[in-house]
Structure 1
Amino acid sequence: MAGHSQFKNIMHRKGAQDAKRSKIFNKLAREITVAAKSGLPDPAANPRLRAAILAGRAQNMPRDRIDRAIKQGTPGGGDDANYEEVRYEGYGPGGTALIVEALTDNRNRTASEVRSAFTKHGGSLGETNSVSFMFNRVGAILYPVAAATADAMFEAALDAGADNVESDENGHQVTSTVENFGSVRDALEAKFGAPESARLTWIPLNTVAPSEDAAASLLKLIDVLEDNDDVQVVEGNFDISDELMQKLTA
């Protein structure tokens, strides 16, 4: 899940993930397998695979589980499923816009489950591109505070071709165009080591602050979506205050 504040919602997401470790590992393994299928099984020569492995390590995914997922994605590795990347868009409670990205071997099943989740929790699933125009598609690279000073991160990101850097007590968020994402990530990794997270994401052009009731329903909807085995990530344009987020997730 991601909303207006990337760091704030990542903290909430980590809390949710801790309670669903096995399911999260399954999702990460699927992305690693699909990434290995899409190119070479060598992360040094396959940027998508490298990013998927990085995401797994950030969640303390066991090395043998990562290796097994890579093997499944190689010819003769045992995974014959044909996963498709699918994006769903719709509106959640309080007029919030949501983008759901999935990897599925059955589009009809996933579409039905995603639509049902929206309907049961006060939202409505729309057509493709019904809300994505409210977002920018960007590369987002996250580093902990200890990785560098704000000035050092800014200078390195600027030199690498990034568009923006935001630093605060939670860390550094570097954003780039989709086209420059790979080169920016590699340049920063060479200088500061592996980031906490590096992926393509959706950044809202404007945000919506839902009421407490709407925010509660929204978080339930997001939890149901993220609990779906096929759903990889849920992005939104909501802006929930730290106080309200803590109250609702306590």
Structure 2
Amino acid sequence: MGRKWANIVKKKGAADKLRGQIYTKILFEVSKAVKSGGEDPATNFLLKIALEKCKKNNVPKDNIDRAIKKGLGGDDDGYQEISYEGYGPNGVAIFVEASTNNVTRTVANVRVCFKKAGGSLGTTGSLQFVFTRKAVFEVPQGDLDEDEFTLEMIDAGAEDIELEDGIFCINGPMEVFGAISKKLEELGVQPEEATLEQIPQTFKEVDDETYEAIMKMIDALESDEDVLKVYHNIEYDERFAEL
């Protein structure tokens, strides 16, 4: 599963770079991290990662300060996390994560994206056997020895470790998020990503036309200001890189 999963994450990451939305999505990570672990990045691993992303993407300090305040409960604006599950063209599973202060608006927009693509929105839990929520880390290899680092990650509870293009892609049950985070800190390793993500457990082979339709659908979903992440379960094929 490793290579398929790593490529899906990579493709999703490419679609995630819509410039108009990137601040919003990173700042949401800041607020969420503060809400769960406090405002000190020295003791809050998730916040440390989120602040590094802010720095890389030149997010203004005022925006970061507001996001931290929001996470502390000073200004939540009534936002809530919500997810949507359904199927795109040719039965490809689509899982959408969103944060909204107007559920009616968000579900209407998401439904339109599914309908335009020829898909259909399902009920919550309808994809519970397709996707599993897992701890996901991306770590630059740098001077790390592949075999030694892999053993350290397995010892911390990781199930899948893939080295590709100089990046270790690591995943495991969401329950081991803390153990892997702690192990990385002990090793003095700074991950580029440290999140909980919906990882597909079953994959679907598709033709080029379906693949392009799904990517167009994902772009439309991710252009919505309320949508944070979109996942699919397409079986990756090298030929898609040429599309």
Query: Which TM-score applies when normalising by structure 1?
Result: 0.84
Equivalent position of 1:81 in the other structure: 77
Equivalent position of 2:227 in the other structure: 231
Q: Distance in 1 between matches of 2:163 and 2:3?
A: 15
Q: How does 1:161-200 map to 2 (within 5 A)?
A: 161-200=157-196
Equivalent residue pairs, number: 241
Structure 1 range deviating more: 162-171 or 197-206: 162-171
SS state of the match for residue 133, structure 1? coil
Q: Distance in 2 between matches of 1:175 and 1:10?
A: 11
Q: How does 1:72-221 map to 2 (within 5 A)?
A: 72-76=70-74, 79-146=75-142, 148-221=144-217
Match of 1:70, as an amino acid?
I
Structure 1 unmatched runs, 5+: none
Equivalent position of 2:21 in the other structure: 23
Match of 1:28, as an amino acid?
I
Q: Distance in 2 between matches of 1:191 and 1:63?
A: 31
Match of 1:213, as an amino acid?
E
Q: CA deviation at 1:27?
A: 1.7
Match of 2:130, as an amino acid?
M
Q: Kindly indicate whether the alpha-carbon contact (under 8 Å) linking 2:12 and 2:230 is maintained by their aligned counterparts in 1.
A: no
What percent of counterpart residues are identical?
35
Over aligned residue pairs, what C-alpha RMSD do you find?
2.5
| 1:36 is aligned to 2:34 | yes
- Residue from 59, 62, 69 that aligns with 2:59: 62
Q: Distance in 2 between matches of 1:147 and 1:88?
A: 40
Query: Which TM-score applies when normalising by structure 2?
Result: 0.87
Match of 2:211, as an amino acid?
A
Q: Distance in 1 between matches of 2:216 and 2:206?
A: 14
